Amino acid sequence: MTQKRLFIIHGYTATPQNHWFNWLKAQAGLLGMEVIVPALPNTTAPQESEWVAELARQVGTVDENTWFVGHSLGCITVLRFLSRQQHVAAGIIMVSGFSEPVDRLPELDGFTATPLDNLQVISKIPHRAVIASLDDDIVPADYSLRLSQQINAPLFGLPNGGHFLDRQGFDTLPLVADLLNQYHRQEQNQ
């Protein structure tokens, strides 16, 4: 059996060492997954083309054993990358994601200038989930709700998650690990 790979994609101004990424890396490792948390370039002035190109370089070939967890800007980066792939990916979990310009973050509008090919995403990724916090003051939950509708993914809304940042107390995010476990069990039973 081919080993499953998980890519955890950070967001704006973040690094692979921030937030709950290392914790999730350890949790996914317990499932036997190879976990990669790439450092994307120019995190304080990100450009879509650079981020997608670096993600493509790090991932290589996408297949039915390739998983992605994105946080904030990492979500649209993953979706842009996957919408251009010819192959099916196993699944995505989008945390505080968005696919349209965010009023509070106009510097990121380049990532959302072109609409996503949602049908492409839906047809190529069987496992999809979106996680939002109702008190997120960076990417309000409405953006994640609309993303979940666009990619036909269940939305998991938490009441007090903020933007799921380490400075807000989030060095773990059990819901993401629970979803990975659930999807892993579903695949084993097929």
Single out the catalytic residue among 10, 19, 71, 163: 163
5-188, CATH topology level = Rossmann fold (3.40.50)
Query: What's the CA gap between 106 and 112, in Å, rounded?
Result: 10
Single out the catalytic residue among 10, 19, 127, 136: 136
pLDDT tens, position by position, 21-77 = 999 999 999 989 999 999 999 999 999 999 999 999 999 999 999 999 999 999 999
72 is catalytic: yes
* φ/ψ bin of 42: left (φ > 0), alpha (ψ from -120 to 50), beta (otherwise): left
Give yes or no for residue 1 having a pLDDT over 70.
no
Burial class for 165, CB neighbours closer than 10 Å (0-12, 13-18, 19+): buried
Token output for 130 = 């979106």
pLDDT tens, position by position, 114-149 = 999 899 889 999 999 999 999 999 999 999 999 999
Quote the distance between the C-alpha of residue 183 and its chain's center: 15
Single out the catalytic residue among 19, 72, 96, 144: 72
Place of tokens 């099916």: 88
Other CB atoms within 10 A of residue 51 CB: 24
Would you list the domain boundaries of the chain? 5-188
Helix, coil or strand: residue 163: coil
